[in-house]
Amino acid sequence: MSADALINGVGSPGSVSSSQGKSFADVASDARKSLDANYALMKASGTPYDSSSFQDNNSLFGNLDRRSLYAIASNQGGLFTKQEQASATYLMNQQQSLATGFYTGPPDQEKNFVDPFGDDLVSRAKAGLNFLENVSTEEKSSSYWLTQHQQLSIALQMATAPQSASTDPKTSSQPHMNLAQLMAQWSASSSESDPFGAKANGADSPGKPASSATNPINTTPDTSAPPVVKDAS
């Protein structure tokens, strides 16, 4: 199964394929059908879907663009299980993480990853802001997006503002430190497994909606493997 849509979501989060020309309700409905079809294909192959497998998650969600992933992660229409929401969220955050030069994925592939930004925090942050500004309209309406966008915009503005000649040398580096701290937080938390509140809101089966509340990404999860929701249906 192709994972082209997931890959495209790293460099072009606003690119559409599976969700093109559809209302958000229809995006969710089509995503539900896509998941069910892929579950069936994997089962027929003799190797049913394993939620702890990077390869299986890429196969299950690989033909879905970021807007479709967001429909799943936010449990649009109450159509998705907790496991599906957690996995879609993980993949979305993986896209954002890779786009800003932070590796998230199979541990054995990390050695092949090249961070294009290195110590250039401003370029890294600009890439992050560009990523956020190119996601779907629906995603931009979420509280976690608003929080991230505001924090990053302010930190960038402070870091790139000209320093006056009278600036106290003891504090002149503080704006850049703020940006450094923010990007360090992104490094640690851009792969938060459940920013949409799916686990807390108990959407454990199709048809049982999670709350629409969202949580800012603010914790440091274990990103060594895709999230596994043990009580998923």
The reported pLDDT for the residue numbered 190 is 52
How far, in Å, CA of 150 to CA of 144, rounded? 10
Residue/partner pairs of 131-134 with CB below 8 Å, 24 or more apart: 131/13, 131/96, 131/99, 131/100, 132/96, 134/12, 134/13, 134/14
The predicted model gives 226-233 an average pLDDT of 52
Q: What is the pTM of this model?
A: 0.77
13 band by pLDDT with thresholds 50, 70 and 90: very high
Output DSSP code: residue 212.
Answer: S
pLDDT value at 177 more than 50? no
How far, in Å, CA of 48 to CA of 64, rounded? 19
8 Å CB contact between 65 and 52: no
8 Å CB contact between 45 and 167: no
How far, in Å, CA of 91 to CA of 225, rounded? 11
Helix axis angle for 82-99 and 66-73, nearest 10°, is 140
185 band by pLDDT with thresholds 50, 70 and 90: confident
The reported pLDDT for the residue numbered 188 is 65
The reported pLDDT for the residue numbered 193 is 42
pLDDT value at 226 more than 80? no
H runs (alpha helix) in the chain: 4-11, 24-44, 54-61, 66-73, 82-99, 121-133, 137-140, 143-160, 174-189, 198-201
The reported pLDDT for the residue numbered 157 is 86
The reported pLDDT for the residue numbered 156 is 87
2: exposed, middle or buried (C-beta count within 10 Å: 0-12, 13-18, 19+)?
A: exposed
The reported pLDDT for the residue numbered 104 is 87
The single-letter code of the amino acid at 74 is S
8 Å CB contact between 15 and 8: yes
Cβ partners under 8 Å of residue 15, min gap 6: 8, 9, 65, 66
Tokens describing residue 11: 């460099």
How far, in Å, CA of 108 to CA of 126, rounded? 29
| Range scoring the smallest mean pLDDT among 8-12, 64-68, 121-125, 170-174 | 170-174
* 3 state SS of 70: helix
